[in-house]
Chains A and B, each alone.
Chain A
């Protein structure tokens, strides 16, 4: 039985479609229910919907053999897993954003509001900038407006939210996309199965390019 953790939401649905096309369908998943676990006994596969930021936890601890998680989550939590494939889905950027008139003259400690404290700390460490991290869990964009922080480090997709709050991207830290990850131990024991899923999905990703 292959256990697959899918991120709840639009991305997860796209990913499920790829698994279906790869020959691992589970029709019951499309029924509109509140169930979170779906199993196809015949194909020996079980899917479950989890919060996107939790996928890596399920996979790292072996509750799921494979899963799909954003590179942002993988960089933030650094789970000990294999990262097997870039799905080229859910593409966006991790970026530093600030009010349009903000200029970092480097004179004082930079106040950075973010959900991604690890990514922000690593980035500023790499450029040798002293920062004060403010961990927020949502509505990051208002932090600079209310002078809670100087800048924010966040995911930018289209930039609309930034624009509407009079912010703009100052620096791009890295591109983000969804990745197929696997538990290291599962990979040793269900390697053939995981590889065959991987190959089929890899073909679909290449076709989409």
Chain B
């Protein structure tokens, strides 16, 4: 039996998530901490940072400490029509931290569904993402975007590569003022500019977003988004799932539905995922894939009730006391459900609720 209060937020999450993913038929995926460096260099844009810890293996091969899990899972996946592989993982990855610019060990949990996927699998991934967040905190939001809609709308406005890359950046910042200026620079018509600004400013409740979006865009992708939205209506967390097209994952890897999860107590997104058929194609796979990752190291920021004491009882015994009786006394406290620290003198930094002097035989309290 594990006492729940002893677990840190991220440890608790690991147990809860494992049981959740198992219920939906996802199997644990265990991998080595190392991977051949070549795998990453071929797909370095997919990684958050291209800085990777490398070393030479005993046979001279250049190896890397894993900066990412998804690539390894794809590499080892089957590529057959009709086959779907559902796995979950809980691994440490090694990346450069954005704030300190040093390497950091990051605990990641997540799942991938690889193979002949359809809308059901996407729905399942989104649902599990929502359930994962709900297991960690009551106050969360999952925002969903559809890159198919985004790229169709951008293509309609202007196909220039420079325009698109800058526009994407502004869209991810919800920066409509610079987006309008960019359109002006590329001599885009007032109507198209207005549509694009409207698209970026459309976010929030799912049905409202879909209604507004229908004025700007019609196409398969919107139908897919609407179907997904309707499927999510039955979720107990339906209110917490919103649409927001500022979720812009790299389009050379992701396509279709992408999503990001936030907890109110944490200043950045804790969950990120989506459909990544494009990455699969780059790795010579014919099938598609959807998945997400949770950044468990961020859960450290979740506030826990402050501990006032390190132990309930500080038991002070003397040099000549019978050790067996000391042991008995310690067990007495432990059996009462109290934590005990047996010491010969009062430690400087230990905070205790109650001090008990062990006086052999005389103290039977």
Contact = CB atoms under 8 A, between A and B. Distances in A.
A185 B267 contact: yes
Interface in A180-205: 183-186, 188-189, 191
B174 A82 contact: yes
Contacts of A84: 174-175
Given A60-B267, A61-B267, A185 B262 contact: yes
B139 interface: yes
The majority secondary structure among interface residues of chain A is mixed
Contact of B178 (A63, A83, A191): A83
B139 to A, nearest CB: 7
Contact of B246 (A63, A82, A185): A82
A86 B175 CA distance: 9
Contacts of A166: none
Interface residues of A, number: 18
A63 B267 CA distance: 8
Contacts of A188: 141, 143, 242, 262, 264
Contacts of B98: 80
B173 interface: yes
Contacts of A86: 177-178
Nearest to A85: B177
B contact residues, range: 10 to 19
B266 interface: yes
Given A185-B267, A185-B268, A189-B141, A82 B173 contact: yes
B171 to A, nearest CB: 11
Contacts of A83: 173-175, 178
A186 B267 CA distance: 7
Given A83-B178, A86-B178, A185 B266 contact: yes
A185 B301 CA distance: 14
Nearest to B244: A188
Contacts of B139: 189
A85 B174 CA distance: 9
Interface string A133-176: 00000000000000000000000000000000000000000000
A81 interface: yes
Nearest to B98: A80
B48 to A, nearest CB: 12
A86 B178 CA distance: 8
A89 to B, nearest CB: 13
Interface string B326-361: 000000000000000000000000000000000000
Contacts of B266: 62, 185
Interface string B86-107: 0000000000001000000000
Nearest to B142: A188
A185 B269 contact: yes
B177 A81 contact: no
B268 A184 contact: yes
Interface of A: 60-63, 80-86, 183-186, 188-189, 191
9 contacts: A62-B266, A62-B268, A80-B268, A83-B173, A183-B267, A184-B268, A185-B263, A188-B141, A188-B264
Q: Which 7 A-B pairs have the closest CB atoms?
A: A62-B267, A86-B177, A83-B175, A188-B141, A83-B173, A189-B264, A82-B174
